[in-house]
Every structure is written in C-alpha cells, then in structure tokens.
Structure 1
Amino acid sequence: MLAAKSIGYDSNPMIGFDTQKVSKIINLPEDHVISMLMEIGKQTKPAMQRGGQLSLDKVVFTDKFT
C-alpha cells in the first residue's frame, strides 16, 4: 500500500482469522466470501525482518512454468 505509506500509515495482511465469525460480525451476504483481511494504522516500531522470502525470479514467471 504505497499510498498509505506516503501519508504515514502502514499495512499488513492478516492470516489465521475465522472467516465464518468475521462474516457473521459484518453481516456478510451469503453470496460473498472473505479472501483477505488487512490492517492499516500508524506504525509504532520498525517491522521485524522477514526470513525465507524468495526472490522475484523464483516466484514470477512469464509465458511459461518451470
């Protein structure tokens, strides 16, 4: 979220949430699904280093699969 960073906010995708509970809380229509949750806010400390991240040439392919 580059735009959020430019105004002093940070964002982070969330995993491990209960989609059924969230759907009930927000009264999500039955023909919709939650694919992701994102938190947005002011950063209070620097982000932790992420380990094991693959380089783009390992995960981005053009016109073929390897």
Structure 2
Amino acid sequence: MEFILAIIIGLFYAAGVYLMMRRSLVKLIIGLIMIGNGANLLIFLLGRIVKGAPPIIPSDAKILEGYFC
C-alpha cells in the first residue's frame, strides 16, 4: 500500500509540474491543485498507514505532544 501511494504521489507531482509549465491559466491552476493533493498524500504517507489507526495523532492522545508544541 505504501509503495502504491508513493507512486501515486510521484505521478501527482510530475503531472502537476508538467501542467504548470503549459501556457494556459486553467492548466496552471489544475497543476497547482495536483501538487497540493500530492503534498496531502505525502503527509498521510509519512504518518505510516495502519488499518484502523489515525494517520497523524495517536488514538489514545487527547493533545498532540512532541516536536509540534
């Protein structure tokens, strides 16, 4: 699953950069949206995907502690 998501993220980034290099404003906006979607998937992938578990914050934590505070 993580390998498939890594490939999908790479495709989102590649397609987004390709569309941003075109001369159309619509393609530029679609390219930015695709890069944004790839970035969101990358955040979820970095949180380690486990069935039934939240991607970033542990299920038993009431607040997020650690490097973010």
Q: Which TM-score tier does this pair reach, normalised by the shorter chain?
A: under 0.3
TM-score, normalised via structure 1 length: 0.24
Larger Rg: 1
Q: Which has the higher strand share?
A: 1
TM-score, normalised via structure 2 length: 0.23
Higher relative contact order (CA 8 A, sep 6+): 1
